[in-house]
Amino acid sequence: MRPVDVEQPAGHLPIGAHLISPRRFYLHHGIYLGGADVAHYSGFSGSLRPGPIEVTDLEHFANGKPVWMLQEPCKYSSEEIVDRARSRLGEKQYRVLFNNCEHFCSWCVSGNSYSAQVDACFHRPHDLFALISALEPRLVA
């Protein structure tokens, strides 16, 4: 993973980049669309009702936390990843275990809806804790 400086102009990020930002107990995922825009599943942000896949700016996506760019093999070109993300904007099918922000991003990049965090919760909870600790040490201090 490569750190992203959210204070820099957004042009330094490649479109279609898979972004990750730590939250208190999970890692939030989004797809960089260009022009400082990020597509992400808003999940339960701000209410008890699940939100849609929406576009926000990089600063709001970061929510005051660091942002990392996941460097992974991609099945699709950058433009196709952006098109795939845009094709699902407005979708309101958020399910924390089966269709969360990580599932959305992995589907955009690889065609497979997968969440390593969900897998880790059930099979390797200590691995998930170690990853979050490494990305945001203040959360576990």
Q: What is the pLDDT of residue 42?
A: 86
* pTM score: 0.81
Rounded to 5 degrees, φ, ψ at 135 are -80, -30
- Helix axis angle for 101-110 and 116-123, nearest 10°, is 120
Q: Do residues 104 and 93 lie in contact, with contact meaning Cβ atoms separated by under 8 Å?
A: no
Percent of the chain predicted with pLDDT > 70: 74
**Which range among 33-37, 55-59, 127-131 shows the weakest confidence by mean pLDDT?**
127-131
Beta strand pairing call for 2-4 and 18-22: unpaired
What are the domain boundaries of the chain? 2-139
Instruction: Write down the residue that tokens 């939100």 correspond to.
Output: 51
Average pLDDT, the chain: 83
Under CATH, which architecture does the 2-139 domain have? Alpha-Beta Complex (3.90)
Half-sphere exposure of 50 (CA within 13 A, CB side): 16
